[in-house]
Amino acid sequence: MGCLRRMTCPAARHRLRPGPLGRTRVLALLGLATIALLLTAIMTKWMSPLIALILIPIAASLIGGFGWDTSKFIVSGIQSLAPVVGMFVFAILFFGIVTDAGMLDPIIDRILRTVGTKPTRIVMGTSLLALLVHLDGSGAVTFLITIPAMLPLYERVGIDKRILACVASLAAGVNFLPWTGPMIRASASLKLPIPEIFNPLAPV
């Protein structure tokens, strides 16, 4: 009975509560578990990416004890990302229409004619083409245009196809235009508006 009284007294309950450091560790572990579960659910096709990205973070927030504050997190996230998402969608639509209309075809044809059969030129032409196509910020469009256009040249000359995939990926990854993925991720991570990141880089 004495132990029970000590456990139920206010001072004992206060000592049993996890401190700020303990809560931080629990939240960090919960975050890692959420990311691992997201990757597992998407890679094993247990859930579609859209459903997994919605349900699993909400469940993790509820497990973390945030309760109704979860709705505030959702609204705050939408408000912070809405301008960037709007710009991203516009860029995809705009450059998608430009590509479908064939406005980039003369530039692509000139690149293919210029590279010839020299391996160094082919690799450089691959990076230039990927940079040009990645203006819309969409990685899928970049690979769908760059790979089919350059793959016959790589097969004809005998260049390793992994170089094609590597160069296209690197060229698409260094694009720092305001609506591209790297800039959006940097803005979200640093919690800074995109203009504050992009404007100093523009002269470079």
Query: What span, in angstroms and rounded, lies between the C-alpha atoms of 147 and 143?
Result: 5
**pLDDT tens column, 138-157:** 677 777 778 877 887 888 78
The answer to whether the beta carbons of residues 198 and 176 sit under 8 Å apart is yes
pLDDT exceeding 90 applies to what percent of the chain?
0
Structure tokens at 200: 């100093």
Q: What's at 110, amino acid-wise?
A: R
Tokens in use for 163? 């170089």
- pLDDT less than 70: residues of the chain: 1-22, 84, 87-88, 91, 95, 99, 104, 108, 136-138, 174-176, 181, 203-204
Q: What is the pTM of this model?
A: 0.47
Burial label for 48, CB within 10 Å (0-12, 13-18, 19+), is exposed
**Tokens at 175, concatenated:** 């694009």
Convert the pLDDT of each residue in 39-48 to its tens digit.
888 888 888 8
* 41, 33 contact by CB (below 8 A): no
Q: How far is CA 33 from CA 23, 122, 159, in A?
A: 15, 43, 41
